Amino acid sequence: MTTEKDITLPEQEIYDESKVRHLEDMDHIRLRPGMYIGKLGNGEKEDDGIYVLLKEIIDNAIDEFTMGHGKVIKVTLDEKTASVRDFGRGVPFGSLIDVFSKLNTGAKYDDAVFKKSVGLNGVGAKAANALSEEFYAESYRDGKSFYALFRKGKLVESGERETGERNGTYVRFTPDPLLFVGYHFRRDFVEVMLKNYSYLKKGLTLNLNGESFKSENGLLDLVNDSLNETPLYEPIHLIGEDIEVVITHGHAYGENISSFVNGQNTREGGTHLAAFREAVAKCLKEFYKNNYKKDFAPEDIRQSIIGAVSIQIQEPVFESQTKVKLGSPYLWQKEIRNPDGTTTLDKGPTVRSFINDFVGRQLDDYLHIHKEIVPVLMNKILDSEAQRKEIQSIQKQSRERNKTTSTYNPKLRDCQYHYNEKTPKGKEELAEKSSIFITEGDSASGTITQARDSGFQAVFSLRGKPINCVKESPKKVAGNDELNYLISALGIENDNANLRYNNVIIATDADDDGMHIRLLVVSFFLKYHPDLVRRGHIYILQTPLFRVKNKKEVRYCYDQQEKNAAQSELRDAKVTPFKGLGEISAHEFSEFIGENIRLDPIRISDEENIKGLMEFYMGDNTLDRQKFIRKNLRSEVELDGVDF
């Protein structure tokens, strides 16, 4: 019989003061970098962390220029290290160490100094310091300088000295390779960043490794430089206090509108872009209704629009640390303390009303003065209207046909939480991660469906090869059942702003057919929904080419180099090639589409000629396309001659 004294209870963990830890600012940033810069990455994506760090340092230099100090910013870049030199006032010597190492320390809290800054108050430069293997800052003021050298956020050396340098601040940093594994800076990403800054800050010269960028006409230069077709009319350039917009129309499908806040490129838009789209449609709708008795739909007015909008607001609120989507509903808001000790939130005009009022007045005045534009624009809108109605009629017939016949249904396996929809509290991260896998055939579709996380991952199955959107007419594309189902699944029948998934992932086999299907799907997005590509929503799923395993361990390898490394590290390893997604088990797929998922973003800049690209790769030059596919097809190149 067991008695009470025979029972040994597990030792209870003592919760006392010894269990409470305090992390210094730099330690906390290194422990939780995602809270400060969004993600780490290796520099192959333009929103990877190393570019966020660089942008934060440049932002501080931009703010000096904005306040009237220094007209040149020099950026020096190599694969591993970046430096920024401005010619502003220089950081006060007594504050330099704190400015770069203590959170919530800086001059940007004082609106008299930095009224509309782009750098994040008190955080950005500290994150760059904490996440760098080495970080050096030097301030030059009146013939003297003060410097500080940090390693992984810890101060190792500082001092003051005489100098002949002009006033300003110099920062050099090398991101920590333990955090940014295998990273390197890409000049093309940084060049785009600096070009955008030059368009937004007229009179500022930005120098990258000796090449200078400067704009005299602001956003007008941005739009003109990025045009890859002759616009229907000269771009309309409107400038007001704290706002600048450019508007024109071309021939391509979709919308191409760049948006900025306080000099920050908001690639994913936000409240200001939504307001601008609404304002342009509303103004033109009222103009033609009042003067020509034409009542146009907003989607017809915005079809083929090319433009840009930039606003300046106080203390902007972004929806993430990387600041690519504006969340601020107001131009400014301040907390006022009342005599009784309570506080009241004093709000300025909304971003929506501010942009609507400006565009409504200025664009209407412009059209009354420049009457030669009016018939050109009206004819464009009428053409868009006619094409939309024709396409809608064809799509309606397709839907009706599918109701009464046994036409194949793609069978979308949907997820629970979606992008751009109201999400229950606490599930916002899942909505942000929402993804849809576009697969070829039921085999791969079924396997991914078993392996996915149904909370935020959906699966769409294509039947065979989609129609070639480059060769076929819009009417024929509109009548294609497969693409109609895909459009419906994505939620973009009427407006790309209603996209249901943040990540649209093309998941095809790594062979000739798979590559061809991939190109056909990408061509569809480039021709009919190019803004989804520009905003970074379209990806290619990487799948492993090899399985390397022994009795103790399994590794999945995505190229020959990874396979060779795995073979050398695993004793008695056996190598198995993957030829198609259907050969990968659900268990294995869970390894590839979970936390370890590898995605290649489809990138295209505003300067690239989308029509030319599609004609070259998907038009009549079949031989050139075949050469391109075989040259870039990893499976054929890497598996050729390999002994398994």
Structure tokens, 479: 């009548």
Does residue 121 lie within any of the structural domains? yes
The SS3 of residue 32 is: coil
Does residue 418 lie within any of the structural domains? yes
Give the pLDDT of residue 117: 57
**Domain match, 166 and 227 both:** no
Does residue 14 lie within any of the structural domains? no
| Tens-digit pLDDT profile for residues 163-175 | 999 999 999 999 9
**Domain match, 381 and 413 both:** no
**Domain match, 370 and 424 both:** no
Domain limit, last residue, from 158, 182, 211: 211
**Domain match, 617 and 492 both:** yes
**Domain match, 588 and 487 both:** yes
Give the pLDDT of residue 34: 76
**Domain match, 101 and 163 both:** yes
How far is Cα of residue 248 from the mean position of the Cα atoms in its chain?
A: 24
Query: For the chain, percent helix, then strand, then coil, each to nearest 5?
Result: 40, 20, 40
Those residues whose C-beta lies under 8 Å from the C-beta of residue 250, and which sit 6 or more positions away, are 227, 229, 230, 231, 232, 256, 304, 306
Give the pLDDT of residue 605: 65
Does residue 397 lie within any of the structural domains? no
Q: In what order do the strands lie in the sheet with 82-86?
A: 154-162, 144-151, 132-141, 168-175, 82-86, 72-77, 205-208, 211-213
**Domain match, 204 and 230 both:** no
How far is the C-alpha of 173 from the C-alpha of 129, rounded, in Å?
A: 7
**Domain match, 39 and 113 both:** yes
How far is the C-alpha of 620 from the C-alpha of 173, rounded, in Å?
A: 49
Tokens 């030669």 locate to 372
Domain limit, last residue, from 211, 235, 263: 211
Full domain range(s) for residue 41: 25-211
Number of domains in the chain: 3
Those residues whose C-beta lies under 8 Å from the C-beta of residue 598, and which sit 6 or more positions away, are 541, 542, 558, 592
**Domain match, 510 and 420 both:** yes
* CATH number for position 266: 3.30.230.10
How far is the C-alpha of 525 from the C-alpha of 605, rounded, in Å?
A: 14
Does residue 474 lie within any of the structural domains? yes
Q: What is the pTM of this model?
A: 0.78
Short-list 183, 174, 171, CA closest to 151: 174
Structure tokens, 564: 């060779």
Taking 50 as the pLDDT cut, the residues of the chain under it are 1-7, 9, 20, 22, 109-110, 112-113, 120-121, 404-409, 635-644
The amino acid that residue 582 corresponds to is: G
Strand runs labelled E in 79-202: 82-86, 132-141, 144-151, 154-162, 168-175
How far is Cα of residue 271 from the mean position of the Cα atoms in its chain?
A: 16
Short-list 536, 548, 512, CA closest to 601: 536
* CATH number for position 176: 3.30.565.10
Query: Counting every residue, how long is the chain?
Result: 644
Cβ atoms of 429 and 385 closer than 8 Å: no
Give the pLDDT of residue 642: 43
Does residue 115 lie within any of the structural domains? yes
Domain limit, last residue, from 388, 418, 444: 388
* CATH number for position 533: 3.40.50.670
Residue 142 DSSP class? T
Does residue 70 lie within any of the structural domains? yes
**Domain match, 231 and 207 both:** no
Q: In what order do the strands lie in the sheet with 546-549?
A: 554-557, 546-549, 574-577
Does residue 65 lie within any of the structural domains? yes
Give the pLDDT of residue 620: 72
Burial 134-172 (b: 16+ CB within 10 A, else e): bbbbbbbbeeebbbbbbbbbeeeeeeeeeeebebbbbbb
**Domain match, 201 and 307 both:** no
Give the pLDDT of residue 146: 95
Short-list 523, 540, 428, CA closest to 480: 523
**Domain match, 191 and 234 both:** no
